[in-house]
Structure formats: C-alpha cells, structure tokens
Amino acid sequence: MKYILSIDQGTTSTRAIIFDKHSNIVAMASEEITQIYPQPGWVEHNPNQIWVSVLAVMARVLLEANLKPEDIKAVGITNQRETTVVWDRKTGQPVHNAIVWQSRQTSDICDTLNKQGYGPLFKSKTGLLIDAYFSGTKVKWILDHVPGARKKADNGDLMFGTIDTWIIYKMTGETVHVTDYTNASRTLLFNIHELKWDTEILDILGIPASMLPTVKSSSEIVGYSTPHHFFGVKVPIAGIAGDQQAALFGQNCFETGMVKNTYGTGCFMLMNTGYQPIISEHGLLTTIAWGIDHKVTYALEGSVFVAGSAVQWLRDGVKLIQSASETEALATSLSSNEGVYVVPAFVGLGTPYWDSDARGAIFGLTRGTSKAHFARGVLEAICYQSMAVLRAMEEDTKLPIKSFKVDGGATVNRFLMQFQADILNLRVEQPKVLETTALGAAYLAGLATGYWSSTDEIQSSWQLKEAYLPQMSESTRKQLIHGWQVAVKAAQTFKLK
C-alpha cells in the first residue's frame, strides 16, 4: 500500500502529514519556525531554517508512520502564501531573510504606487490591491535594499520564489524553479486573465523576468526529489497550492458557490466562483483557486483580521480566561448577548469595511456585565465579521451559497459554530479531517499520479463530522445583526485623529 505525503509550510510551523487512500491521517510531525522581528511591523523567516524544518518533519513523519520512503507515492506541497524568498542562482543561498506576508516593511512603496494611481491597473490585472501583504513589493524591497542585489538581478543571477518554490528548488537539488497558479496569483506580478507574469507590472516594479519561476498546474509532476533529499528515493513532487486554496480543495469545494472558512488567528474565506474571474466591488480579492490540466478555477477571497486572536486577547491581554476553550461555557452561560457587542478591530477592519484606522470597542456595558459577556461578544464578533465577508461574496457573484464548510483551530468551539449557522441562516459543515490544507495538497499530488482517479473518487472519501443547522428565529437574527451593524459604525466613528 502506498501513501501521499503532504508538506504544509505555515507561518508558525512546518508540518508533514501522511494520508492513506481513504483520506485518513496516518501520521503527522511538526516543527516551529522562528519569527524574526527586525523592526516593529516587520516579520521575517530564515529560508534555510524553513528548508531544514521540511527535511526534519519528513524524516519524523516517516518514522512515526513506520513507513519506508519507498511507500510514498508522491509529495504535495502547500505553503504560507505571499512570503518572499530571493536567492543567488550560483550559490543557492538567500540574499535576505524571507519577508513574511504579515510584514509591513513595504507599505511606503505601496503608498507611493497608490498615490501614483496604479491601484486600478494592478487590480484589473492581478485581482489584488496594492498592499504590503503581497510578494511583488517585497521583491522590489530586497532589490532596493540588499547591497548589490539589483545588479545581480539585472545580470540574471537572482531567483525569486514563494515558499513552495523555495522548498521544491531545494528538494530537487537546486534544479527545478517552479510555482503553481495559486501561489503566482498572490504575488501581484501575475496576470490572472492571461495566466502569465505581467511585463507591464514587472517594469513598474523594476523586477527582471529572469528571476521568476515557471508557473505550473497545481496538480502535475513538477520534478522529483533527489534521493539525497528524500532518504535514498526519487519521489515525484506532484501537487502545489497556497494554503488557503489547498484548504478549499481539501474541503472538496469543487463547484461554483461552495465556500470554506478557516477559523484561526484570523479567518480566511474563499468561494469557488468557477472558470471566470469576478472582480469584486466589495473589497474582496480575486484569486486562482487552482489550475488543473491548464484549466483555471477562480475564487473570491475575504479575510477577517482578528478572530481567534481576540480569544487570545481575552486570555493573554485582559486575562479574563486561562484557556481558549473556556469561552464556550462562558458564552453558553448566557441566553443572549444582553446587548453587549465587542468589535475587535485591533488592527483596523478588513472586508468589507476596509478601515485601517478603526480600533476595537465594546458597547452596551451595564453594571451586570461580566466576563461571560466579553467571551460571548468576542465569539459572536467572529461570526458577524464572517457574515459580512460572505454577504460581500453573495453580492459580487449573485450566486447562492451551495455549501459552507469550516476548518481551523477555533472550530472546536461548538457555540461558535452554532452561532455561525444561526447568524448566516445556513448549514455549517465541519469535516472529520480538520487538516484540510494538507489534505488538499495530498489530493492534488494524488490526482496527478493516479493515486486517486478523479475528484469524484475524492468526494466519496470526504467525511462530515458534524453539520450545524440554523435554529434562530428570523426576528432574533435580524435584531442581532442590526446591533452588530450599529456597533461597527460606532467603533468606526471613534477616531482620535
């Protein structure tokens, strides 16, 4: 019997997971990644540490599963998106740390580009906003700031990659320089309509095309590990996708109108919008869901910046609780929010509000307000914010929501899931395998190598753990949503400058 090994290189850790043909997890290994904060607002990783962590978790997961390297049919790779590595073609060594997606060090470059009026051009070509989040300005920053980098780049001596590209380059003995459609679509350099690197944008940012990887399908053999890097065996690397897109695939959102929402530090929501890109009028990003057999499926994406991190704030900031799981009992100890709303706009508000100056607020306090109201308010806020993203998707696409599937660490909270179903008035589906990101990459690799024959076969092994059904009356739902909208508006009007 053969297995698929997925590498999930995330912001805080690198994981390797082995799956069997029935989508079961056979074994898992993970390793933390050091967060480097050179200046306030900057976040970097050491690319060599990332690569070593990949080697380590691959070895440990095989050991854990008691499998031989020969038992692995194919490897799938999924990764934190947008994070940028630039390295020297001759030495294979990075010229700078990886600049992480969260890092704001290129916000000045973005401000300038926005002031120059480039926003609409970039959006129409890439589906994205000009923001420090995406890779393009990070590459420019490295070329502008690392001594000698620009000259080397002009001579064709530098290579750029997102984390998938970097891992594959290393795994193939520094021979293969590729990425896939999903990761390319997060760089701000890729034309999502023409499906090629955009020369006009490259010129504006001063990035030579010679640095860029070849863009491949998300499900095809892009190369083989050198035996040296996979314990004596040559194994095909057959699936690549950015982590949110991999989760969409792992959740089997194969049809238009299917949505997944991941509840972690923040929430990432993606909706399959089919074969045509939809440019949002409500602050959503247009992105590539996957490309298979050179046919591309698109998605709309929206994010809630503060979700589980507001629960962490209850625990570590105001110290009202000792563990995240306490919030569930606290929230259910009340029969309603009793008019208390928490707006956790700690870093501004994302989709569809887009108000970076907004700050958090709590409304409706009375002498009877207790920590239960705070806990309930925080959990409710995650659901109201997710609702706002979903409503934006509905308005942009005019599509009915075919399914709403959830994953991520906070989905263990049953109050949260039930309240989400109630507020959306929608069935909320939680899968048995919550490692949907790694599973998505495994599916992509397995499809390319005949391990699974089709998405139909995959669908037959996808298992539902629990479906939360809406139970709230229409009038209560309306009243609660109205309260939230008033609270958000009030939070947005509180500006000290």
Ligand X SMILES: Nc1ncnc2c1ncn2[C@@H]1O[C@H](COP(=O)(O)OP(=O)(O)O)[C@@H](O)[C@H]1O
Distances (CA, A) of 81 to 149, 182, 223, 370: 23, 9, 21, 39
The site partner of 81 among ligand G3P, ligand X, none (C-beta below 5 to 8 Å per kind) is ligand G3P
Residues 6+ apart with CB under 8 A from 69: 62, 230, 231, 232, 233, 235
Residues with Cβ within 8 Å of residue 209, at least 6 apart in sequence: 197, 199, 202
264 touches ligand X by CB under 6 A: yes
Closest separation in Å from C-beta 12 to ligand X: 6
Task: Determine if 305 is a binding residue for ligand G3P (CB under 6 A).
Answer: no
Q: Kindly tell me the burial class for residue 93, based on how many C-beta atoms sit within 10 Å of its own C-beta (0-12, 13-18, 19 or more).
A: exposed
Answer yes or no whether residue 244 interacts with ligand G3P by CB under 6 A: yes
Q: Look at residue 409 and give the partner it binds from ligand G3P, ligand X, none, a contact being a CB closer than 5 to 8 Å depending on partner kind.
A: ligand X
Q: Is 60 annotated as a binding residue?
A: no
Q: Does 325 bind ligand X (CB under 6 A)?
A: yes
Query: Among 101, 313, 384, 462, which residue sits at the site for ligand G3P (rule: CB under 6 A)?
Result: 101
The packing angle between helices 47-65 and 163-171, to 10°, is 70
Select from 129, 204, 347, 412 the one that contacts ligand X (CB under 6 A).
Answer: 412
Nearest CA to 264 out of 31, 77, 465, 434 is that of 434
Cis (ω within 30 of 0) for the bond into 40?
Answer: no
Binding to ligand X (CB under 6 A) within 416-435 occurs at 416
Give the shortest CB-493-to-ligand X separation in angstroms: 28
297 is in an annotated binding site: no
Return the beta strands (E) in 33-79 as ranges.
Answer: 44-45, 72-79
148 annotated ligand-binding residue: no
249 binds ligand G3P (CB under 6 A): no
The enclosing H or E element of 480 equals: helix 474-493
Match 């990425």 to its residue by tokens: 179
**Interacting positions 297-316 with ligand X (CB under 6 A):** 308-309, 311-312
Which residues ranging from 69 to 128 are in contact with ligand X (CB under 6 A)? none
348 binds, among ligand G3P, ligand X, none (CB under 5 to 8 A by kind): none
373 binds, among ligand G3P, ligand X, none (CB under 5 to 8 A by kind): none
Beta-ladder partners of 219: 239
325 touches, from ligand X, ligand G3P, none (C-beta below 5 to 8 Å by class):
ligand X
Does 452 participate in binding ligand G3P (rule CB under 6 A)?
A: no
Q: Which residues contact residue 144 at a Cβ distance below 8 angstroms, ignoring those fewer than 6 apart?
A: 150
Query: For ligand G3P, how many residues bind (rule: CB under 6 A)?
Result: 9
DSSP secondary structure code for residue 396 in this structure: H
82 is in an annotated binding site: yes
Residue 82 binds to ligand G3P (criterion: CB under 6 A): yes
Our CB check for ligand G3P shows the closer of 287 and 397 to be 287
Q: Side chain identity at 424, as an amino acid letter? A: L
Rule CB under 6 A: choose which of 187, 225, 327, 397 binds ligand X: 327
Minimum gap (Å) between residue 72 Cβ and ligand X:
25
CA distance 222 to 5: 15
Residue 237 or 306 with smaller CB distance to ligand X = 306
Amino acid letter, 401? I
Q: Is the four-CA dihedral 307, 309, 312, 317 of positive or negative sign?
A: negative
**Interface contacts to ligand G3P, rule CB under 6 A:** 10-11, 80-82, 101, 242-244
Annotation: binding site: 11-13, 15, 81-82, 133, 243-244, 265, 308, 312, 409, 413
**Interface contacts to ligand X, rule CB under 6 A:** 12, 264-265, 308-309, 311-312, 324-325, 327-328, 408-410, 412-413, 416
